[in-house]
Amino acid sequence: MSASTVLGDAPTRSPLRRWSLLASAAVIWFTLYQLNLRWWNWVVFDWVGLGRDTRVGGSVHFFFYDLTKIALLLTGVIFVVTVLRSFMSVERTRALLGGKREGVGNVAAAGLGVVTPFCSCSAVPAFIGFVAAGVPLGVTLSFLIASPLVNEVAIVLLFGLFGWKVTALYIVGGMVIAIVAGAVLGRLRLERWVEPFVFETRLRGVLIDPSAGLSWDDRLLMGREEVGSILRKIWPYLLAGIGLGAAIHGWLPADWFAEHATGWWGVPLAVAIGVPLYSNAAGVLPLVDALHDKGLPMGTVLAFMMSVVALSTPEMILLRRVLKPKLIATYFGVVAVSILGIGFLFNLVI
Amino acid sequence: MDIKILGSGCTKCQTLERLTHDAVDQLGLDATFEKVTDPAEIASWGVMATPALVIDDTVVVSGRVPSADDVRKLLTAR
């Protein structure tokens, strides 16, 4: 019996009721988003009376304004993206990538890495599943790199903070990194540095595609649940990131970075600091916003963000089950160098 | 009834395990439980997104945590 016929908790609604509920939620969301700045201006500067140009006033205002804005953006985007992604699955992606060679495969893998719902805890079974199904190693790695790097939370927050141009650059940059790094790693013929059992895994059982057979009510419910689940997971990081961002906003003189951090070593330093930091995009972006505000060049900023998000120690530890240390180190190195490249490039171009 | 929970220990997998235990108790079923955490074995079931629920050697749910209701329905359907 297929699981898709027994979903119980999604309320079955008439289409009219479902879509009008959704439309009203969207209207409320837009209203809150537009009124956000004016509201906090009034609360912090008029009602409580903090000075607009004081350090405390600036920080407090930034903290609450940014928190509301990011919470709204996250809620909206996670919901929409989860609903859209419910049409995709890792199983379908594997089927799509199965026959592809290197080159084309890397591009397809990077693209699919962006749109496929994927959690890093599944990185190891997904890796094994891909390789056992005959997806080339480099193509699999392109998928694994693109997924955390170009994630919807990062994209939305970038858009909210810096506008669509920076966001587009980030997406393109991230995909280029995934494609190039995956292709390079594939070319190096590093299969010998994959734990042997991976190639010996035989797939059995009936393959379930979780994206098949879902109703609209199911998809909308998944969207709501994912918003709750992600917010519950990241809120400490979010508060920490915004708090740190608020402090920088209030206390560092404007253009501090422009005065102290010009020079070619900015990008490598940013990557070096970013690598050991573990956070998700939500925690790092408010920080990134404040840094940029104080004059840190956009290329350096994006390089920092990418190295925090794409090179995460917990994921490396997980991948140790399937990749030998040499491959992990090479993976790390190639991705880090690619990020450096993108950072320098963006600093020149933007 | 043979029940396997496939997952490497993240919160979703623990939730699925708890839900399944509860459902089995509520329905008064006779079932053996196994938690599979080895990623190679998980992948060999054709599962790439954890958590997954396997009942009597058939993968019935993969990639998400079903509701308590779903779990009960899946258990009684076998």
User: What's the pLDDT score for residue A206?
Assistant: 59
Which of B48, B58, B65, B73 would you mutate first to test chain A, the one with the most A CBs within 10 A?
B48
Using the 8-state DSSP alphabet, how is residue A53 labeled? Answer: T
Contacts of B38 (CB under 8 A, 6+ apart): none
- Return d(Cα A258, Cα A336) in angstroms, integer: 24
Write down the pLDDT at residue A262. 65
Residue type, A56: V
* Inter-chain CB proximity B70 and A210 less than 8 Å: no
Q: For residue A204, what pLDDT is reported?
A: 67
DSSP assigned state of A10:
S
Residues of A with Cβ-Cβ distance to B60 under 8 angstroms = 1, 3, 208
Tokens of B58: 């058939």
Query: From residue A21, how far is each of A29, A33, B13 by CA, in Å?
Result: 12, 18, 32
Which of A26-40, A191-205, A272-286 has the highest mean predicted lDDT (pLDDT)?
A26-40
What's the N-to-C CA distance of chain A in angstroms? 55
Q: Which residues of B are known to be catalytic?
A: 10, 13
What's the DSSP call for residue A47?
Answer: I
pLDDT band at A232 (very low <50, low <70, confident <90, very high): confident
In whole angstroms, what is the distance from residue B33 CA to residue B20 CA?
9
Q: Note the ipTM here.
A: 0.76
Tell whether the torsion through CA atoms of A15, A17, A23 and A25 is positive or negative.
Answer: negative
Note whether A124 contacts B: Cβ–Cβ < 8 A.
yes
In whole angstroms, give the CA distance from residue A291 to residue A296: 6
pTM for this predicted structure: 0.79
Enumerate the residues of chain B whose CB falls inside 8 A of the CB of residue A203.
43-44, 46
DSSP A192: G
Q: Which chain B residues have a beta carbon less than 8 Å from that of A222?
A: 64
* Cβ-Cβ contacts under 8 Å, A8 against chain B: 67, 69-70, 73
Q: What is the pLDDT of residue A251?
A: 79
Assess B42–A contact: CB distance below 8 Å, yes or no: yes
B47 and A125 in contact by Cβ < 8 A? yes
Which of B10, B47, B58 would best serve as a mutation to test chain A binding (most A beta carbons within 10 A)?
A: B47
Dihedral class, residue B66 (left if φ above 0, else alpha if ψ from -120 to 50, else beta): beta
Q: Is there a cis peptide before residue B51, judged by omega within 30 degrees of 0? A: yes
User: What average pLDDT does chain A have?
Assistant: 82
Q: Are strands B32-36 and B2-6 parallel, antiparallel or unpaired?
A: parallel
What local confidence, expressed as pLDDT, does residue A31 receive?
Answer: 93
Task: Tell whether the model's pLDDT for residue A17 goes beyond 90.
Answer: no
Classify burial at A192, counting beta carbons within 10 Å of its beta carbon; exposed 0-12, middle 13-18, buried 19 or more: exposed
List the structure tokens of A78: 């996670």
User: What pLDDT digit, counting tens, does each position of A265-294 carry?
Assistant: 888 888 888 877 766 777 787 778 878 877
**B5 at A interface, C-beta within 8 A:** no
Q: Considering CB atoms only, which of A118, A205, A318 is closest to B46?
A: A205
In chain B, the residue whose alpha carbon lies closest to the alpha carbon of A226 is B64
Instruction: Specify the pLDDT at position A1.
Output: 38
Q: How confident is the model at residue A124 (pLDDT cuts 50, 70, 90)?
A: confident
Predicted local distance difference test score (pLDDT) of residue A26: 93
Quick check: B10 and A130 CB within 8 A? no
CA pair distance B23, B73, nearest whole angstrom: 9
Tell me which chain A residues have a C-beta less than 8 angstroms from the C-beta of B12.
119, 121
More confident residue, A271 or A9: A271
Contact B58 A122 (CB under 8 A): no
Greater confidence, A172 or A8?
A172
pLDDT of residue B64: 76
Contact residues, chain B, for A122 at CB < 8 Å: 48-50
Round to whole Å and give the CA distance between B48 and B59.
Answer: 12
- Under the phi-then-psi rule, with left for phi > 0, alpha for psi from -120 to 50, and beta for the rest, what region is A193? alpha
**In terms of C-beta density within 10 A (0-12 exposed, 13-18 middle, 19 or more buried), how is residue A247 classed?**
middle
Judge whether A8 is closer than 8 Å to chain B, CB to CB.
yes
How big is the CA angle at A240 (ends A255 and A221), to the nearest 5 degrees? Answer: 120
Q: Does A125 touch chain B (CB under 8 A)?
A: yes
Q: Which amino acid is at A293?
A: D
- State how far the Cα of A73 lies from the Cα of A244, in Å rounded to an integer: 19
Residue written as token pair 């108790």: B25
Q: Which residue is closest to A211 within chain B, CA to CA?
A: B63
Residues 130-149 in A contacting B (C-alpha not used; CB under 8 Å): 130, 132
Confidence label for A261 from pLDDT (cuts 50, 70 and 90): low
A82 near B CB under 8 A: no
- Predicted confidence at residue A178, as pLDDT, reads 92
Structure tokens that stand for A6 in this block? 């027994």
| Sequence-separated (6 or more) residues with CB below 8 Å from residue A230 | A74, A78, A153
Rounded Cα gap, residues A230 and A75, in angstroms: 9
A75/A207 Cα distance (integer angstroms): 32
